[in-house]
Structures are given as structure tokens and as C-alpha cells.
Amino acid sequence: MEKNRTQDPAQVLLVDKPLEWTSFDVVKKLKYGLKIKKIGHAGTLDPLATGLLILCTGKKTKEIESFQAQEKEYTGTFILGQTTPSYDLETAVDSTHDITHITGEQVKAAAKTFEGWIDQVPPVFSAVKVQGKRAYESARAGKEIQLKAKKVEIKLFEITSIALPEVSFRVICSKGTYIRSLARDVGRELQVGAYLASLRRTRIGEFRVEDAKTLAEILQK
């Protein structure tokens, strides 16, 4: 059994990433747990997000870019009327705004304005490189940085339920989209602020989270 595990077979592994794990944590766990020499993930998922993470091993690592390019689907919640520097729960709330005048129809209308191709500014707490450094490194050091907007496509931005201040949603989008930035932008559109409270990636191309396994299930093989 040990010999088979060190042969580094070409595989595509669908993992249901647990909360608070980085994508690299998952790669490292499977690399040593399954004794795989060559392994990588096809698209980062934030530590505070759960859901589908595609890992490729052996010769399948050559296909990572093709998986990264496929459209993504997410579900999650954001909180209206509050903001955080990271646009999610990584950092503490830094401002609060009155939302008693906000209606469900206004929230849905705001979400619709972001469907299609948009210019999106990534979060400063992200892995985007600025002058050779990851943006989050500068942000955590308290330095002010300016990130350039990128073209991304929001194919669907559906508000699935509203229980203010919490709003649930489903998003289908292109590679490179930051859902945290989408939450921020809805908050700005409504002029009350917002941050991402939870996020789950449910699909990458034709691959669905329902077909993914937990780390424990994969390591039991």
C-alpha cells in the first residue's frame, strides 16, 4: 500500500475545504498524508470560506490553469450596515451605519447593478502583488496601499433571502472575482456599508461540492 502511494498518480481531487484552513494547509496535509510528491490547488479559497477546492496531483498539475479559468459559483451571507477593513470577519468592525430605511427591494436592485462585466477593486487583505509583496502583508503592517481595478464578470448575483442585517446570496462569476469586494460594493451602493459574513464555493466549472470529500475521507483511502 505504501509503494502505491509514492507512485504519485495523476489525479484530480475534489476537497470540501473546512473553515479556517488555508488552501495551502489542505495541499500540505494531503501531500504528506498521502505521500504525494507533486500536488497543487486550482484556485485559492480564503481561510474563512468553505467548499470546493480542486487539487491536482502528478501530471494532472499541468491542467491547473484550465481549472482556474472556469466559472465559479458561491453561496453566502453578508451583513449590511457595518464594515471591516478586510471586508470579512478577519478584522473587527470599524464602522456602523443605520439601515432602518433599507428595504429588501433596494438590496435586490443594488445586487443587480453588479451583474455583467464590472471593474472590481480587490481587497487590500488579499494575495494580490504590489511591488513584489502580497497586499495583505502591507495591510497587516498598517500601510496604505492602492490596488487597481480588474475586469471581472458577474454572471448572476441572486439575493436568496433577507433578514436584515443579514442577506443571503448566490453568485456565479468569472475567475479572479472577490466576493468580499462584491459585499463591500453592495454596501457602498446602498450607502450603509457591508461585509462578508460567510462564504461557500459550490461549483467550479462542472465540478460540484456535492461530489467533494472531506480531508478525513480522502486520507482514509
pLDDT in tens, 51-93: 999 999 999 999 999 999 999 999 999 999 999 999 999 899 9
**Mean pLDDT confidence for 153-171:** 98
Mean pLDDT of all residues belonging to the chain: 90
**Could you tell me which of 79, 77, 57 has the C-alpha nearest to residue 67?**
57
**C-alpha–C-alpha distance, residues 204 and 136, integer Å:** 25
**C-alpha–C-alpha distance, residues 43 and 23, integer Å:** 8
Whether 175 and 80 share a structural domain? yes
Dump pLDDT digits (tens) for 4-60.
444 568 899 999 999 999 999 999 999 999 898 899 999 889 899 999 999 999 999
Whether 122 and 29 share a structural domain? no
Task: Indicate if the pLDDT at residue 140 is higher than 70.
Answer: no
Q: Which three cell numbers stand for residue 15?
A: 476537497
Our answer to whether residue 185 is catalytic in this structure is: no
Whether 88 and 60 share a structural domain? no
Whether 101 and 189 share a structural domain? yes
- Of the residues 16, 25, 46, 185, only one is catalytic, namely 46
The pLDDT value recorded for residue 213 is 96
Number of domains in the chain: 2
Whether 62 and 78 share a structural domain? no
Dump pLDDT digits (tens) for 170-188.
999 999 999 999 999 999 9
The domain of 170 spans 72-204
